[in-house]
Each structure stands twice: as structure tokens, then as C-alpha cells.
Amino acid sequence: MINPFFKNKGPIKIDDILRLSNIENNCGYKQDEIYDVKDLFTASNNDITFFHSKKYEFIATKTKAAYCITTKSLSHILPKNCLTIEVKNVLISTAEITKIFYPDSITDDFDSTVTNIESTYFNKNIKHGQNVLIGKNVKIGSNCLIGHNTIIESNVIIGNDCSIGSNVIIRNTLINNNVSVLDGCVIGKKGFGFFPNNNGNIRYPHVGIVIIEDNCEIGCGSTIDRGSLSNTIIGKNTYIDNQVHVAHNNKIGENCIIAGQVGFAGSSTLGNNVMIGGQAGISGHLKVGNNVQIGGGSGVIKSIPDNSKVMGYPAKDLKRFIKDNK
């Protein structure tokens, strides 16, 4: 899928990429043209990717990327078809390369193209409140409703039978059919991606999007950040309660129930039919299996296998938690 929200400057020759990002070209790479920067899983043989942690070793062995930013200690894991570029700090180098391909990805300025819905095609076709603003190239399906003071920015796509509440901001997002986004939500803003550096924190570009699949509900005041190099996805038939935060790159499965004030750090994956109680916290880069139940107020700091019931901080097997707290 071509990203409708961020313009890709590729193809760019590999030696130019390294020069512009201040990476030494020790291997003399010159002629290859690179079309995009992507994660290990989605990269093709025309792309550059990155590999910074053994957590992703299995995916790294199967990547189709032409080049990979990595460290000396990890480079041997990559397949022979993937040429390695060894650096000291993989994430900072990848951030610099991403900015070369997507120079507009750092800022999150307001959309200056928005106009009042009353002066657009949607005025007569959508039931809407006061002060609704619509950006360029927005697509909205039939039988939709939009509340007061809501902003839908350029290129957003909303399917049929959707209800968007009041005081909502939606950008960099694709919404499927029969989705309800309740009052006060902010969807598609950049994620909280920073790397500490001696010269100050470095913000990581976010060029991914948010995808909300069919029959979902997003509760009041919830925030869903767009992905960095991959997408943030809410699966079909998932209901998210009020004041929930979903950080960048999370993949939430189908038929999930997530209670109020749950917080997800970045890049975790939830299976299908997961239930999470209120105020639980899910750490980043974890995998929560199918049919998992997580008790309210729990702190999940490691991956959870299918069909588990956990509670506590750190989250542990429910039977053990009950025994330990008699």
C-alpha cells in the first residue's frame, strides 16, 4: 500500500543515503538505488531496514531487505542476500535515514488545508455538528455522523456507518466500516519515540499510519498513535474503553475488550479475544497471545502465552496471584 500521508523521496542511491546520514561507507556501497526504509518484516529487496535487538532474530533471518543497519554483534544473523551496514547506534542511524526518505515526518503541524464542512461536498451527505473541519482528499462513506468541533485532516478515509464524536482529531488514519470514535479522541498523531543523546533527545520519525478495522469502538478521550515504520492496527470487533492510550506500532487483535485507562507502550502485539482490566499497563515489544485475560491494575513486563489469566505487578498467573495474596 502506498502511504497516502507522507511523501517518499526514494529511490535514493545507497552511497548518498550513507553520506547524508553521516554513516561511514566502509564497504564502498555505491550504485544500488533504495526505494524505502521499512521494518524487517515488510522490507523488500529494494529497501533498507534495521536490526537492533535479538528479540527480532527470527524475523531478521527471513528479511528480504537489500541493506540492513545493524551492529557488529548482530550482523551474522542476517541472510546473505541482505548487505549489512554496521553502526554504533542502530536506532539513531535509522532515524536519520528515515528523515532522508520522509523529510516531512518530524513535524506534526496542524493541517492548514482544512475547511468548514459546510463548504464541502459532505455538507449535504453527512449529518454533522457545528465547526467541523475537513482536509483535502478526505473520503467518508455513507450513513456517517460527525459531532461538534471535530477535525478530520487530509487523506483520511472513513468507511460506511461510522460515528465520529465531538472534539475529535483524526489524521494519518484509515477507518473501516461501522466504527464509533467517541468524544475527545486523538487518533494518528506522532508517537512518543525518543532516543537519548549527549546533545539532547532525538525524536524518531513516524511515517506509519493507524488502521481501525470493522465494528470497533474507541472510547472517550482515548489516544492512538500512528506507527513509526510499521502501522498501528486495531483489529475487527475490538472495543476500547475511555482514556486508553495505544502507542506506536501496536497490533491489537480481533474481538478484544480493553477497559478504561489501560496503557500500551510501543510495538507490542495482542492476539484475538484478549480482555484487559482497567488501568493495566502493557510494556513495549511484547506478545500477548490469544484468549488472554489480564486483571485490572496489572503490569505486564513479559510476553504472555495463549489462554493465560494473569494479574498483579509484575503480572503473574492468576492462581499464583490469588495464593500469594490470601
Whether 248 is catalytic is: yes
Q: Are strands 316-317 and 309-311 parallel, antiparallel or unpaired?
A: antiparallel
Q: How do strand 115-116 and strand 133-134 relate by DSSP bridges? A: antiparallel
**CB contact at 8 A, 137 and 119:** no
How wide is the angle at C-alpha 274 spanned by C-alphas 269 and 279, nearest 5°? 85
Catalytic hit among 76, 128, 248, 285? 248
Yes or no: say if 230 and 49 are a contact pair by the CB < 8 Å rule.
Answer: no
Place of cell 506522532: 190
Q: Cβ contacts of residue 198 below 8 Å, gap of 6+?
A: none
Residue 147 to residue 252: CA distance in whole angstroms: 26
Q: Which residues are catalytic?
A: 248
